[in-house]
Amino acid sequence: MLSVVPLPVIVRAPSKVNLHLGVGDLREDGYHELTSVFQALSLSDDVRFADADQLSVTVRGDDARAVPTDRRNLVWRAAELLAERAGRAPGVAITITKGIPVAGGMAGGSADAAAALVGLNELWQLGLGRAELSEIGARLGSDVPFSLHGSTALGTGRGERLLPVLARDTYHWVLALAKGGLSTPTVFRELDRLRAEGSPPRLGDAQELMHALASGDPHALAPLLGNDLQPAALSLAPALRRTLRAGTDAGALAGIVSGSGPTCAFLCADAEAAVAVGAELAGAGVCRTVRIAHGPVPGARIIDHETEH
Q: Tell me which residues are annotated as active site.
A: 16, 143
For strands 161-164 and 171-177, give the pairing.
unpaired
Whether 138 contacts 147, CB under 8 Å = no
Shortest separation between residue 141's beta carbon and ligand C5P, angstroms: 4
Closest CB to ligand C5P among residues 34, 256: 34
| CB of 27 or CB of 241, closer to ligand C5P | 27
Q: How far apart are CA 134 and CA 147, in angstroms?
A: 9
CA distance 42 to 32: 28
| Residue 269, annotated as binding a ligand | no
Q: How far is the CB of 34 from ligand C5P (least distance, A)?
A: 5
Is the Cβ of residue 63 or residue 143 nearer to ligand C5P in the bound state?
143
Ligand-binding site membership of 105 (annotated): yes
Instruction: Single out the residue of 262, 265, 260 nearest to residue 277, CA to CA.
Output: 265
Q: Which are the contacts of 58, defined by CB distance < 8 A and separation ≥ 6?
A: 69, 93, 94, 95, 96
> CA-to-CA distance for 240 and 98, rounded, in angstroms?
23
The response to whether 68 counts as a known ligand-binding position is no
Q: Residue 99 annotated as binding?
A: no
| Cα Rg, the chain, nearest whole Å | 19
Q: Is 200 annotated as a binding residue?
A: no
Say how many CA atoms lie within 13 Å of 212 toward its Cβ.
Answer: 17
Which residues here bind ligand C5P, judged by CB under 6 A?
31-32, 34, 141-143, 158-159, 184-185, 188
Our CB check for ligand C5P shows the closer of 74 and 212 to be: 74
CB of 42 to ligand C5P, least distance (A): 22
Known binding-site residues for ATP equal 101-111
Known binding-site residues equal 101-111
